[in-house]
Amino acid sequence: MGDCELTEFERDLVKSFNSYFEKNGVRAIAYRRKQHRFSSQFVDILVDSIKPDYYIAIENKSISTAKGAKKLYFSQHFSKNQVERIDTFLNKSGRNGYLAVELKQGRGKPRQAFMIPWNVIIKRYHEDESGLGVKEIKRFMEIERNGEKYKVGSFFNEDL
């Protein structure tokens, strides 16, 4: 899992959120915080809005099911203490948190992405689970794709 691929997923989601906000007249903005080499960011994407439903934070993870990944592991896909840092940030900021998981299924097969509410992640983490299986991830709300682009409208229409 390279940084470029992860950055591409983040960039696609930010564009999709901002496109949705613009088309629907929502006063909100999605953005990625600039990363600095020696400081950690809390989450990958922040959405600011005066409307509480749109005041969210999203951590992004990509896994390659084409390479045999069957699970998103806390120990492998998150850095040390990252889950606790994100949870603390969400609690202090009052943001609604989500984990966006992109499943890369190999050449010629479309990528899929799913939004998992952060309360599910933190509960599993505190129960000492090792992570979430791909089958389980697919039970959460899928972010629709139109060709190569994600469309977050379904996320807002169903979840918020």
- Return the pLDDT at 159: 44
- Return the pLDDT at 146: 82
Residue range 92-113, pLDDT digits in tens:
999 999 999 999 887 878 889 9
Under a CB-based contact definition with an 8 Å cutoff, are residues 6 and 62 in contact?
yes
- Return the pLDDT at 5: 43
Quickly name the fold that domain 8-151 has. Answer: Trna Endonuclease; Chain: A, domain 1 (3.40.1350)
Q: Which long-range contacts (CB under 8 A, 24 or more apart) does 129-135 make?
A: 129/74, 130/71, 130/73, 130/74, 130/75, 131/71, 131/72, 131/73, 131/74, 131/75, 131/76, 131/77, 132/71, 132/72, 132/101, 133/70, 133/71, 134/63, 134/65, 134/69, 134/70, 134/71, 134/72, 134/103
Q: pLDDT under 50 in the chain at which residues?
A: 1-6, 158-160
Confidence (pTM): 0.87
Domain ranges of the chain: 8-151
